[in-house]
Structure 1
Amino acid sequence: MKVYLESFGCSASQASAEIMKASVERLGHELLNPVASGEAEVYICNSCTVKYTTEQKILYKIRSMGEKGVEVIVSGCMPEVQLEDILHANPEAHILGVNAVSRLGELLSSIEKRKTEGLPAGGHLELRTSEPLGFLNVPRERSNPNIHICQISQGCNFACSYCIVKHARGKLLSFPPEEIIKDIRSAVADCCREIWLTSQDDSQYGMDTGVKLPELLRMISEIPGDFKVRVGMMNPFSVLPILDELVDAFDSDKVFKLLHLPIQSASHSVLKKMNRLHKMDAVDEIITKFRARFGDLSLFTDIIVGFCDETDEDFEETVEWVKKYRPEKINISRYSPRPHTRAFSYRNLDSRISVQRSHELHKVCEQIKLGSKKEMIGWRGKAFVSKYTEMGDVLTRTDSYRPVVISGSGLKPGEYANVEITGAKPGYFLGKLII
């Protein structure tokens, strides 16, 4: 069968998509690229339900594909919390539970049997598992052959009032450290040179088992080979209990000095309404300790604007925080009410206010990025070769994960090089080799 798989959402979702693509090809089906998607006999939608706009795009796609006579499979988070919406859009859509990515082959085989035997469609099929299966040490069709996404856990033990993902993925279940180590060893043997650790919150890892994230990072750092590790998003309230050990673990040469610490808001009243279990003095402590150890640290954060009852003063607190701490990257989202969450019943702001605040914060972020980029021109230091670009150049990463593109170098992923930053583009730096 001709199969087109489209994936939405986070890096954990991307990892699941890579596993499912490998299943498609292993069973002998033809995996189509986006250009050829119109030829698909089966459409797999690896869904995300974090934002309303994404949800609506997904519902449109599964409806329109069904109307064309294409068999539709919906995986990811949406089937766990919005099954009725999916089946309303397409009553014949097949469901693959968020924990059951490894069972995609069973669904495809059932669909193929119906087609080859001329059987009627007979309604939708569902495959689910209560616990996550097949996320580690399985074949993958990687989006980039040099990057391996390793999911270290499923679920979350906290309950932010706006977050639907907790309802979709359940309570925290940390994967066994020995399985994670085996998975990364295999990826390095496959010539992957950049390892992404992903989950709903990396710093929660091991809260349910005992082997915490700092110890896991030390174990990963002992794996032989030329590779670097990118630690994914970590919430302040789960970083704080392991802060000192975590800073020590980041001191490894194999760990990028990148801190992705989502604050969502700098206003305590908004944080309380969000049920975010941290204060801004804790955020300050975390950033201060990381920057004291790693002077060239990159700071990423996530911010939600226009949350329920957010005042102008609340928003201004967030803007001032951004100006003070100057993150290299900010993921800005306008608040989107999600079903099944506590905040779904809260009073929402006028959408025009959210749009205006989003635009204002984007302007501030662009000014900060422009200033930071100018400051980096002339920088010299050692960079890690991550991957080839589409143009045949190489993308290198500084120790703090800043991207520097080098042309005509002959460098290969996994190597190190001394580089000088000579210019800046919107999403990366330009550089040259130095002797």
Structure 2
Amino acid sequence: MDNIRVYIETFGCTFNQADSEIMAGVLSEAGASLTGIDEADVIILNTCYVKHPTEHKVINRIKRIREMYPDKGLVVAGCMVEIDPQKLESISGDASWLGPHQLMRTAEVVGAAYRGDVKRITGFTSDVKVGVPRVRSNPLIHIIQICEGCSGSCSYCCTRFARGSIQSYPSDIIVQEAREAIEAGCREIQLTAQDTAAYGSDTGERLSDLIREITEIPGDFRVRVGMMHPASVLRDLDGLVEAFRSEKVYSFLHLPVQSGSDRVLRDMGRGHTVDDFRMIVDRFRSRIPEISIATDIIVGYPTEGEDDFLDTCRLLEEVRPGFIHLSKYRHRPRAFSSSLDEIDFRELRRRSKAVEELKGRITEEENRRLVGTTQNILIVERGRKGGFIGRTDSYIPVVTHDGEVGSFRSVRIKRATGTYLIAESEE
């Protein structure tokens, strides 16, 4: 593959970003070179399919690439391959495919696409995505996929059809990969999964023990723990709270509630209640007062009535998460809820707009509370418009005009928006 130049474009979550890093690593070891799209012989599009808007972005991007680069080989990878192969076939029947469980065969598929052949490798494997070749997109941030799949059965979700049942990876390999990344100069370790708190539910291990083992590694670094399903957190709540108290762990809890209505949560098949969510947040806040809370909300689930919607708004007002990820409900391929009637689209837009306004107000008010305070930040990258981007110990983004990528700095917060803070250095 010494003469093959490859461009990788990624949609979606941190887990998908890590998949792209593995594909890049496999290709580099095979002798291919990574390059920009114009120079590439083969384009890999690593797709996400979790939301309706993302589906349209992916489809439009595939069509656009085919129009702009008809002579280049195209490999479609990621979740779309497993979830909606019929639609993929209809829009790009001459593309090669690579399923998200088949990353170690990336070079094989890319080689075929380079020769003008169509090769499609899909289906599930038990391959472990730790301790494998990888090229980091940010040399200071190392993403570790601690498990793949989930143990849930959410009625609206199609991702589980691409990722499968929970498969936790051995903790000793994970810790070793973290150690090697830190020794190589990484300053942030991101633990990612479809549900990080489900880690070990199939092997008898616990996420809290894994976090503690990683924080015992010598060095000055931070650990970001990815999204945790409330139902999974409950099986190890006290252990997780204590693990998060380490100064090496970002005080950041991503806990998707999805709805403030117990009735809707039951219809969604979430496996937790609103009070479970409240209790988890209260337990973390009681032991880690500075912790920032992120949550996800789905507006307009087919069985969501006006009272259910208002319960969601009241819950957000009560808990006041610093990060709120909002989605409008839309049917997803193969999901159970797609058999239900969607609510009127005008009503969906009204509810979404109301929550969007509520979200903006809450997150900006929460960030404003930090104006005038001094924060310790880890600078992780240069800003696209100049300056530097850092993260507070609570994982809140900070823009500062001076600094050094990879350094910890003490800054004073001057202003706040709903999404980030603006600071000046105190050093």
TM-score by length of 1: 0.92
Residue equivalent to 1:432: 424
Contact 2:364 2:416 in 1 (8 A): no
Tell me, what secondary structure is at the counterpart of 1:55? helix
Q: Which of 388, 407, 412 is the equivalent residue of 1:420?
A: 412
What residue number does 2:186 align with? Answer: 192
1:256 paired with 2:250, answer yes
Match for residue 209 of structure 2 among 211, 215, 220? 215
SS in 2 for 1:290: helix
In structure 1, the residue corresponding to 2:372 is in which secondary structure? Answer: coil
- In structure 2, relative to structure 1, the CA distance for the partners of 1:381 and 1:52 (3 Å cut) is closer
The percentage of counterpart residues that share the same residue type is: 38
Q: Take 1:132 and 1:385, find their aligned partners in 2: how far apart are those partners? A: 36
Question: Does residue 13 of structure 2 align to residue 10 of structure 1?
Answer: yes
Q: What residue number does 2:79 align with?
A: 77
**Number of the residue aligned with 1:43:** 43
Deviations 1:195-225 (A, max 9, x none): 1111000000000001110111111111111
- How far apart are 1:371 and its partner, in Å? 1.5
Counterpart amino acid of residue 45 in structure 1: L
- C-alpha distance in 2, partners of 1:52/1:165? 12
Q: State how far apart, in whole Å, the 2-side matches of 1:339 and 1:175 are.
A: 28
Contact 2:96–2:113 at 8 Å: present in 1 too?
no
3-state secondary structure, aligned to 1:241? helix
| Paired residue type of 1:12 | F
Deviations 1:32-74 (A, max 9, x none): 33xxx35543221111111223223323333454462432211
CA deviation after TM superposition for structure 1 residue 418, in Å? 2.9
**Paired residue type of 1:58:** V
Hey, what's the Cα distance between the residues in 1 that align with 2:282 and 2:173?
A: 33
- Structure 1 residues 14-413: aligned runs within 5 Å: 14-33=17-36, 37-38=37-38, 40-66=40-66, 68-112=70-114, 114=115, 121=117, 124-128=118-122, 130-133=124-127, 135-390=129-384, 393-409=387-403, 411-413=404-406
Q: 1:252 to 1:54 in 2, by over 3 A?
A: same
Q: Is the Cα–Cα contact under 8 Å of residues 101 and 134 in structure 1 kept in the other structure?
A: no
Letter in 2 for 1:18: E
Per the TM alignment, residue 320 of structure 1 is displaced from its structure 2 partner at its CA by 0.7
CA contact (8 A) 1:66 1:92 kept: no
Greater CA deviation, 14-23 or 250-259? 14-23
Contact 1:100 1:132 in 2 (8 A): no
Q: CA deviation at 1:130?
A: 3.0
Deviations 1:272-305 (A, max 9, x none): 1101101111111101010001111100000000
Distance in 2 (CA, whole Å) between partners of 1:374 and 1:130 is 47
Distance across 1 between alignment mates of 2:304 and 2:314: 15
Cα distance change, pair 194–92 in 1 and its aligned pair in 2 (3 A): same
Unmatched segments (≥5 aa) in structure 2: none
Supply the distance in 2 between the matched residues of 1:302 and 1:364 (Cα, whole angstroms). 14
Tell me the amino acid that sits aligned with residue 21 of structure 1: A
Q: Secondary structure in 2 aligned to 1:262? A: coil
After superposition, the Cα gap between the structure-2 partners of 1:391 and 1:348, relative to the gap in structure 1 and judged at 3 Å, is closer
Is 350-359 or 400-409 further displaced after alignment? 400-409
Q: Tell me, what secondary structure is at the counterpart of 1:376? A: coil
**1:16 offset after TM fit, Å?**
0.6
Moved more, 157-166 or 99-108: 99-108
Summarize deviations over 1:77-130 as a string: whole Å, max 9, x none. 111121121112122221111111121011122333x35xxxxx4xx3122463
d(CA) in 2 for partners of 1:281, 1:425: 30
SS of the aligned residue for 1:143 comes to coil
In the alignment, residue 78 of structure 1 is paired with which amino acid? M
Instruction: Report the CA distance shift for 1:381/1:186 in structure 2 as closer, same or farther (over 3 A).
Output: same
- Secondary structure in 2 aligned to 1:161? coil
Q: Which runs of 5+ in 1 are unaligned?
A: 116-120
Name the CA distance, whole Å, in 2 between partners of 1:417 and 1:274: 43
How far, CA to CA, are the matches of 2:162 and 2:385 in structure 1? Answer: 39
Verify the 8 A CA contact 2:74 2:113 in the aligned structure 1.
no
The answer to whether the 8 Å contact 2:367/2:418 transfers is no
Which residue type is aligned with residue 153 of structure 2? A
Letter in 1 for 2:46: N
Range that drifts further, 316-325 or 22-31: 22-31
CA distance in 2, matches of 1:405, 1:51: 29
What displacement does 1:28 show?
Answer: 4.0
Identify which range, 206-215 or 182-191, moves more after superposition. Answer: 182-191
Tell me the distance in 2 between the aligned counterparts of 1:190 and 1:129: 34
Count how many residue pairs are aligned between Structure 1 and Structure 2: 422
4+ residue runs over 6 A deviation: none
- Higher mean C-alpha deviation, range 423-432 or range 242-251: 423-432
d(CA) in 1 for partners of 2:123 and 2:84?
A: 17
Which has the larger displacement, 64-73 or 273-282?
A: 64-73
